[in-house]
Amino acid sequence: MTRSRGPSPVRLALLLVALVIAILVLLGPRPAAAQEITNYVRMEVDGRVVYGVLEGEGVRELDGDLFQAPTPTDRVHPRSAVRLLAPVAPSKVIAVGRNFESHLQGRPRPPEPGLFAMYPSSVAGPGDDILRPPGADNLHYEGELVLVMGRRARNVPESEAKSYVFGFTAGNDLSERDWQDADLQWLRAKASDTFALLGPTIVIGADPDDVLIETRVNGEVRQHERSSDLIYDVARIVSYVSTYITLEPGDVIFTGTPQTTQALADGDVVEVEVEHVGVLRNVVRSES
């Protein structure tokens, strides 16, 4: 009678290697599940100003401070029944200038983020008119990604900076170019009323370092670029600003505009769309 021989040592070794690889695949790191994207709004409803969260075609009202774990209520309003406001009421409005290569137009890259400031009175929201002050004859749009701070930040290291950001929104940093050149500081040029437009929502759950920014004037695309092209990214900006200025929850940072801009005329419809945020739409109206 002939005895059957078992697997050879080489075959056994190969089987063992395959088994080890299979175990490592099963126990190894899994791809992280995509974080759910949430859109928060600040709105006026029934004579009250409250925060809400978008849910389909409705807006669920929240009780409490947006930055202190607010409580969802059972009050859900149709979107058509609420008036959306600037999604946050910041104590400070900081902005970074010349932060896209495409906007430099041959000018040297800044050695560090170039900062300027606006005021809470500069802020306006979706649907508000862009008010052109007397003499503002060279008023330009600047579509931007805007960061919304979620907690107090002072001297924050770059490695931790993004954890201080609550979310992001869309912004339009209106700029009067002649005043920028003529004035001692960019006070009139950047901080006039309605020159810091924000909205319509604050997004959490998406990466602000890679979203599309698009600006349209009367339906024509004028700016179209991703935030991944920023010279100084989100972590660098937040860390740098917090080195000099204490940032509080709800403060905002405009991160810079891409490509080129053009002068606006009365009646122009300006739309800034940031991926996941929605469309910030405003119309230019002269005050003169």
pLDDT for residue 263: 98
Q: Specify the pLDDT at position 106.
A: 87
* 162: nearest Cα among 220, 199, 217, 209: 209
* CATH number of 142's domain: 3.90.850.10
The reply to whether 153 and 189 lie within a common domain is yes
Q: Span 23-28, mean pLDDT?
A: 49
What number of H helices and E strands is found in the chain? 6, 19
Q: What integer is the mean pLDDT of 195-208? A: 98
15 occurs within a structural domain: no
84, 104, 119: which is the final residue of a domain?
Answer: 84
d(CA 77, CA 279): 20
Would you place residue 39 in the very low, low, confident or very high pLDDT band (cuts 50, 70, 90)?
Answer: very high
| 106 and 61 share one domain | no
User: Do residues 102 and 221 share a domain?
Assistant: yes
| Full residue range of the structural domain in which residue 74 is found | 38-84
Residues 164 and 138 in one domain: yes
Name the strand (E) or helix (H) holding 230: none
Q: Are residues 72 and 164 in the same domain?
A: no
Instruction: Please write the tens of the pLDDT for every residue from 126-141.
Output: 999 999 999 999 999 9
Closest among 156, 171, 232, 223 to 202, alpha carbons compared: 171
Q: Which of 20, 53, 84 is the last residue in one of the domains?
A: 84
Q: How much is the pLDDT for 196? A: 99
> In this structure, are 249 and 221 located in the same domain?
yes
- Kindly state whether residues 207 and 231 are assigned to the same domain: yes
Which phi and psi angles does 156 have, rounded to 5°?
Answer: -85, 130
pLDDT of residue 10: 57
Distances (CA, A) of 168 to 180, 234, 248: 27, 10, 15
pLDDT of 167: 98
CATH of the domain at 54: 2.30.30.370
DSSP state of 7: -
Asked if residue 100 and residue 71 are part of one domain, the reply reads: no
Residue 169 shares a structural domain with residue 79: no
For the segment 96-106, the average pLDDT, to the nearest whole number, is 96
With respect to residue 260, please indicate whether it lies within any of the assigned structural domains: yes
Of the residues 53, 84, 115, the one at which a domain ends: 84
**Lowest pLDDT segment from 11-15, 115-119, 177-181, 267-271:** 11-15
Question: Same structural domain for residues 65 and 140?
Answer: no
HSE (CB half, 13 Å, CA atoms) of 40?
Answer: 24
What pLDDT score does 8 carry? 67
Select the more confidently predicted residue: 52 or 18.
Answer: 52
The DSSP code for 11 is H
Whether residue 162 sits in one domain with residue 266: yes
Angle subtended at Cα 237 by Cα 183 and Cα 206, rounded to the nearest 5 degrees: 125
Residue 118 lies in a domain: yes
Is 182 part of a structural domain of the chain?
Answer: yes
Q: In the predicted model, is pLDDT for residue 4 greater than 60?
A: no
**What is the C-alpha to C-alpha distance for residues 103 and 97, in angstroms, rounded to an integer?**
9
Task: List residues bridging with 131 in a β-sheet.
Answer: 285
Residue 251 lies in a domain: yes
- Tokens 């300027």 belong to 116
* Helices (H), ranges, the chain: 9-27, 101-104, 158-161, 177-182, 187-191, 234-244
pLDDT averaged over the chain? 92
**Is 233 within a domain?**
yes
Q: CB neighbours (10 Å) of residue 102?
A: 12
Q: Tell me how many domains the chain contains.
A: 2
CB distance 269 to 197 below 8 Å: no
| Residue 25: per-residue pLDDT | 43
Residue 257 lies in a domain: yes
What is the SS3 assignment for 19-58?
Answer: HHHHHHHHHCCCCCCCCCCEEEEEEEECCEEEEEEEECCE
Question: Buried b vs exposed e over 148-159: b needs ≥16 C-beta within 10 Å?
Answer: bbbeebeebeee
Say if 266 falls within a structural domain: yes
Q: Tell me the C-alpha distance between 144 and 148, whole Å.
A: 13
Say yes or no: 224 and 269 in one domain.
Answer: yes
Query: In the beta sheet, which residues pair with residue 171?
Result: 144, 198
